[in-house]
Amino acid sequence: MAVQAPPAATTPPSSWPTVAGAVVLLTAITSVLLAAFAWPSVRSSLHDVPIAVAGSATAVERVGAALDRRLPGGFETTEVADTAAAERLIRDREVYGAIDVSSGTPRVIIASAAGAAVAQTLQSVATALSQAQTQGTGTAVAVRDLVALPADDPRGAGLAAGALPLVMGGLLTALLLTRLVRGAARRVAGALAFAITGGLAVAAILQFWLGALNGAYWVNSGAVALTVAAISLSILGLESLLGYVGLGLGAVTMMLIGNPLSGTSTAPEMLPGWSGAFGQLLPPGAGGQLLRSTAFFDGRGATHSVIVLVAWFAFGAVLCLAGGLRAPRRRRRSGITEQPRAALSSPNGLNQISYQEALHGEERRR
């Protein structure tokens, strides 16, 4: 007699509280994304931007007082004796620009490659100060761009736009390798290989196609590769120890915190409060500053960024090593646990158990 199979059960629709919970979760995620990316831009302003003032002590004091009146707390001035000293500080990335009053007539020295927004602000402030000193006669202030952005990208848009793809590249590397590649050593090798190829590709696009970078191509590629490696390895390491929780933690750290606080599109000193300094301790911010140094300043001012990126790289490598050492123990424990379950769940296992029970029952009846 044939046994009729029961009708397939249909999945009931989700309850309305489940729908409401999904809506609340999506609203919260959207709000967090907007706050993370919009807050640094909307609240950006100058604070403690380092600049040099060249001239006599009296002139430097007068310029410093005028700057404090116009933008309180906006600039941190360094007194230098002459124009050459101011230019040296700019090339070493110790200051963003300089106001030179050593010759009597105020002149402005900027470095748009260090930050176009800061250069424009410094130029406008110096012009306003000069007009105030000349009773509004409209005398133009001489401005010289000591370290200029490339002619093909005079606003630095390419470098600013390249920050997000670097973070996304490191995040996608960790995500794909955890899904497609087994073994901690192979995942690390894959991340390092992509960091090299990705660095070559990104630097080639920015430098040869968009014309957004100067400097040596191979050095710029190394800066991009180190940034991608630091991001991807740290996320891989977190995932190897914490699973999906670690992957989410790494994504939030790099995407929602590190990228908005990198200061690549403006300057770290223009971000609100402590966020600019904190952003330079994360790979996106350190990577952006490192690429500026290699592309426009012959690597000067890159020490802090290299230390931060190497520290994150080592942190990720240690986590990957720890996760790789824990994986065999987890597999052994799970294998011991699954053996009895497999015996019960497999047809052969059930048949063998049923046969043994029947045999024991027959022996008892005898």
Q: Which of 65, 43, 46 is nearest to 123 (CA)?
A: 46
pLDDT score for 37: 82
Average pLDDT across the chain, whole number: 84
pLDDT score for 148: 92
Count CB atoms within 10 A of the CB of residue 138: 8
Residue for token pair 């002459």: 82
Q: Two tokens at 173?
A: 């590397």
What is the arithmetic mean of pLDDT over 228-253?
Answer: 92
Q: Two tokens at 276?
A: 């600019």
For the cut 70, the answer to whether the pLDDT of residue 3 exceeds it is no
Burial of 145 from C-beta contacts in 10 A (0-12 / 13-18 / 19+): middle
Count CB atoms within 10 A of the CB of residue 354: 10
For the cut 70, the answer to whether the pLDDT of residue 319 exceeds it is yes
pLDDT score for 328: 61
For 77: left if phi > 0, alpha if psi spans -120 to 50, otherwise beta; the answer is beta
Instruction: Indicate the DSSP class of residue 269.
Output: G
Q: How far is CA 249 from CA 172, 175, 257, 272, in A?
A: 14, 13, 11, 24
Q: How far is CA 270 from CA 48, 116, 163, 273, in A?
A: 9, 12, 17, 9
For the cut 90, the answer to whether the pLDDT of residue 33 exceeds it is no
The answer to whether 52 touches 78, Cβ cutoff 8 Å, is yes
For the cut 60, the answer to whether the pLDDT of residue 32 exceeds it is yes
pLDDT score for 103: 78
pLDDT score for 84: 92
pLDDT score for 343: 47
DSSP assignment string, 226-239: HHHHHHHHHHHHHH
What is the arithmetic mean of pLDDT over 244-262?
Answer: 91
The answer to whether 304 touches 221, Cβ cutoff 8 Å, is no
The answer to whether 263 touches 288, Cβ cutoff 8 Å, is yes
Question: For residue range 322-354, what is the model confidence (pLDDT) as tens digits?
Answer: 887 776 665 555 555 555 554 445 445 445 445
pLDDT score for 350: 45
pLDDT score for 278: 93
The answer to whether 228 touches 235, Cβ cutoff 8 Å, is no
**Cα gap 75→67, rounded to integer Å:** 7
Mark out the alpha helices in the chain (DSSP H runs): 16-42, 57-70, 83-91, 116-133, 157-161, 163-180, 184-204, 217-242, 244-251, 275-279, 283-296, 303-345, 347-365
Question: For residue range 76-101, what is the model confidence (pLDDT) as tens digits?
Answer: 888 998 899 999 999 999 999 999 88
Question: For residue range 186-200, what is the model confidence (pLDDT) as tens digits?
Answer: 999 999 999 999 999
Bridge-based pairing state of the strands 107-110 and 97-100 = antiparallel
Residue 271: how many CA atoms within 13 Å on its side-chain side? 25
pLDDT score for 314: 95
Give the Cα-Cα-Cα angle 287, 293, 299 (nearest 5 degrees): 115
What is the arithmetic mean of pLDDT over 24-51?
Answer: 85
